[in-house]
Amino acid sequence: MDAGRLSLLKKIVDSYMEKVPGLREHCERCLMTERWGGSVMLMVVDASFTSIGLNYFTSVVPKVEEFNRRFVETGRIRSLKQLSKASLNELKKVWRNKRSWTIARSIASCLTSISTDDKTALRTWAGNTILEKWREDPVGRIKGVGLVTFQYLRMMGGVDTVMPDKIVKRVVNRILAEAGFQPVEDDLKFIKTAERVALGCGYRPIELCWMTWLVQREGSMMRMEKYSGLLSKI
């Protein structure tokens, strides 16, 4: 990469990052496994709901909050082990998609086999994962867990990386094209390219990833403005 194009790339990435103040703190919580008040179970539920592609802030977040009120705050489900054994019929009262709950219970069961402490389980699993071998991973083998969900869980388990979902790819590839580089479509190559872009421009890969979602507009407002008060909770 020549110096001129690298300088332009950094200038473009900086211009995006300026739009998302407060992002660094949110990403720090994610990497410390402290999202959702530190509840790994809620992180797993979040990832399982997110896997079916609905709007994160308007569909997923309210339902994770409802699950928290119905099951966690009432003491009915407090751990991954309890989630792995929870009744599908009960769970579907919050979120009707059976596939999401099957994924959540399977992930919970897999992580519980690593440690009885939920945070230790997720962070141990994430720390031992190998991106290139994700399909061979116990979580990666779960039906319904694609590379996007796999990466999301790794990020919440402390791995500084990106998710190759359609929005992240669209924004990062647009940035690459603006700077005179070729867009990258292959998911694994994209992840590695996005990580290099972030680090080369002075940011963490996870910050580049979250930025792409938060600069999207909903109506007349950017998500960063619209949901700024929500970020500290999730």
pLDDT tier, 211 (very low <50, low <70, confident <90, very high otherwise): very high
* Percent above pLDDT 90 for the chain: 93
Owning domain of residue 84: 37-156
Helices 3-17 and 166-178: angle between axes, nearest 10 degrees: 130
Look at residue 1 in the predicted model and tell me its pLDDT: 60
Q: How many domains does the chain have?
A: 2
* Percent above pLDDT 70 for the chain: 100
- Indicate whether 46 and 131 sit together in one domain: yes
- Indicate whether 67 and 91 sit together in one domain: yes
Look at residue 15 in the predicted model and tell me its pLDDT: 98
Look at residue 3 in the predicted model and tell me its pLDDT: 82
- Indicate whether 68 and 134 sit together in one domain: yes
Q: Say how far apart CA 34 and CA 91 lie, in whole Å.
A: 24
CATH number of the structural domain spanning residue 79: 1.10.340
- Indicate whether 81 and 122 sit together in one domain: yes
Q: Is 190 helix (H, G, I), strand (E, B) or coil?
A: helix
Q: Which residues pair with 217 in a beta bridge?
A: 222
Q: Looking at 156, 191, 216, which one is the last position of a domain?
A: 156
Look at residue 232 in the predicted model and tell me its pLDDT: 87
- Indicate whether 46 and 24 sit together in one domain: no
Per-residue pLDDT reduced to its tens digit, 150-171: 999 999 999 999 999 999 999 9
Look at residue 84 in the predicted model and tell me its pLDDT: 98
- What's the pTM? 0.97
- Indicate whether 131 and 167 sit together in one domain: no
- Indicate whether 13 and 115 sit together in one domain: no
Q: Looking at 133, 156, 179, which one is the last position of a domain?
A: 156
Q: Is 109 helix (H, G, I), strand (E, B) or coil?
A: helix
Residue 170 backbone phi and psi in degrees, to 5: -65, -45
- Indicate whether 22 and 50 sit together in one domain: no
Taking CA atoms, 42 is separated from 51, 60, 77, in Å, by 14, 11, 10
At residue 40, does pLDDT exceed 70?
Answer: yes
Q: Looking at 109, 141, 156, which one is the last position of a domain?
A: 156
DSSP 203: S
